[in-house]
Amino acid sequence: MEIVVSGIRSTGQLHLGNYFGAVKNFVRMQHEHPCYFFIANYHALTTHPEPASLRASVRQVLVEYLACGIDPEKAVVYLQSDLPEIPELYMLLNMHAYVGELEKVPTFKDKVRKQPNNVNAGLLTYPVLMTADVIIHKASRVPVGKDQEQHLEMARNFVNRFNHFYGVDYFPEPYPYNFGQELVKVPGLDGSGKMGKSEGNAIYLSDDPAVIRKKIMRAVTDTGPTEPNSPVSEPVNNLFTLLSLVAAPERVDFYKAAYADCSIRYGDLKKELAEEVLSFVAPIQERIREISADDAYIRKVLTEGAEKARLSSSKTLREVREIMGF
Ligand code: ADP
């Protein structure tokens, strides 16, 4: 049986990209594999959150995880910072990670461009911490979105380097995983790229209906098709992709056909998309409200999750230290 690990940074709330890229697959996998799902509160530190806001967003992300159907009776749900073995493994792995290769990671280069005043060492070694998160449980499957493909390729490099250097076959290679084969990239509402927290183009699971409607009605489109069967522009294609996540395939076909014969009305497409997103999030929001009101339950999930996760992480770290000569 393959071990599954995945996490979400605790920088606020979950958006549709997190759900369809990652959480949806977590929920399905918990029935078939030993699963570890964590809230990445160390990873959140690269952007220097206020302590109170870090605490609040950890709680919110946990509540939303549970509201989406992650079941702490089936899967191990925990907070990254509750496992001291993760930072220790991260430190050990850092000795085998080279500055040159880390500087070449596209997400790092992107951050250097976007936040030149905060290029901290944590950002540089982010892929090493992510590797530690995954291999601390010797996981081989990682349900994530397409944006994480390269990080997992690096994780495989680190794993192979470790196994090779110490002459062991200890860590399995971790692969990104999606039930529907292709890794998912959920687009944002601003016409290009992925939906993301830092991109400011996201629909959050806990957004008010009025906010969701407003965001979708303002989504970027184009001036409309001018002749039959013209190619679909990226912003419009993004709306089709979003609709395909929440509506029946026939509805997407309907709008694609309307685009092809130039009868499409973007206002109608957006209205339908907004209503479908609202029906999709309504039951999740209901559960968010219920779970959020239950402090004792939230505490219990985290305490028990940390206990269960440490059984696995402490075993791995003991073995790694021995392999390395401690
Ligand atoms: P964000 O990119 O919004 O900060 P995270 O980095 O915390 O979110 O990502 C958490 C998980 O959600 C990862 O598995 C990532 O692949 C997935 N994810 C985030 N955005 C998207 C997206 N737009 N499409 C698909 N998956 C996504």
For 221-249, how does the pLDDT look when each residue is reduced to its tens digit (9 = 90+)?
999 998 999 999 999 999 999 999 999 99
Active site residue 197: yes
Residue by residue, what is the 3-state secondary structure of 177-235?
ECCCCCCCCCECCCCCCECCCCCCCCCECCCCHHHHHHHHHCCCCCCCCCCCCCCCCHH
Domain spanning 209-289: which superfamily?
A: Tyrosyl-Transfer RNA Synthetase (1.10.240.10)
pTM of the model: 0.93
The structure tokens 């109170």 sit at 52
Residue 323 has pLDDT above 90, yes or no: yes
Strand, coil or helix: 77: strand
Alpha helices in the chain (DSSP H): 16-18, 24-29, 51-67, 85-94, 99-103, 106-114, 121-124, 126-135, 149-165, 209-217, 234-246, 249-260, 266-292, 295-324
For 134-189, how does the pLDDT look when each residue is reduced to its tens digit (9 = 90+)?
999 999 999 999 999 999 999 999 999 999 999 999 999 999 998 877 899 999 99
pLDDT at 181: 77
For 100-113, how does the pLDDT look when each residue is reduced to its tens digit (9 = 90+)?
999 999 999 999 99
Question: Taking CA 8 as the corner, what is the angle to CA 317 and CA 323, rounded to the nearest 5 degrees?
Answer: 15
| Residues 152, 158, 159, 165, Cα dihedral to 10° | 170
Rounded CA separation 107/320 (Å): 29
pLDDT, mean of residues 53-70: 96
Find the 168 Cα to ligand 1 centroid distance in Å.
Answer: 33
Active site residue 185: no
The share of the chain scoring above pLDDT 90, in percent, equals 94
Minimum-distance ligand 1 atom for the alpha carbon of 199: 3
Query: Residue 274: which region, alpha, beta or left (left: phi > 0; alpha: psi -120 to 50)?
Result: alpha
Contacts of 140 (CB under 8 A, 6+ apart): 2, 3, 172, 173, 174, 175
What is the widest separation between alpha-carbon atoms in the chain? 70
| Residues 149, 153, 156, 161, Cα dihedral to 10° | -160
Residue 198 has pLDDT above 90, yes or no: no
Report the 10 Å Cβ neighbour count for 112.
14
* Burial environment of residue 241 by CB neighbours within 10 A (0 to 12, 13 to 18, 19 or more): middle
Amino acid at 190: D
Band (84; pLDDT cuts 50, 70, 90) = very high
The CATH number of the structural domain formed by 4-185+295-324 is 3.40.50.620
pLDDT, mean of residues 106-128: 95
Rounded CA separation 213/210 (Å): 5
pLDDT at 124: 97
CA-nearest residue, atom 15 of ligand 1: 145
Angstrom CA distances, 179 to 76, 143, 176, 183, 198, stand at 20, 9, 10, 9, 27
Find the 173 Cα to ligand 1 centroid distance in Å.
Answer: 21
Residue 1 has pLDDT above 90, yes or no: no
**All CATH 3.40.50.620 domain ranges in the chain, comma separated:** 4-185+295-324
Helix (H) or strand (E) holding 35: strand 35-40
The structure tokens 């794993």 sit at 159
Strand pairing partners for 233? none
**All CATH 1.10.240.10 domain ranges in the chain, comma separated:** 209-289
pLDDT, mean of residues 263-288: 98
Query: Which residue among the candidates 111, 138, 215, 270 is catalytic per the annotation?
Result: 111
Pocket test for ligand 1, best of 45, 70, 126, 147 (most atoms within 8 A of CB): 147
Active site residue 111: yes
The structure tokens 């601390």 sit at 136
Query: Which residue among the candidates 74, 185, 197, 271 is catalytic per the annotation?
Result: 197
Ligand 1 pocket: which residues have CB below 6 Å?
8-9, 17-18, 21-22, 144-148, 184-186, 194-198
The structure tokens 């979950």 sit at 14
CA-nearest residue, atom 20 of ligand 1: 17
Angstrom CA distances, 288 to 64, 80, 158, 189, 309, stand at 6, 22, 38, 24, 24
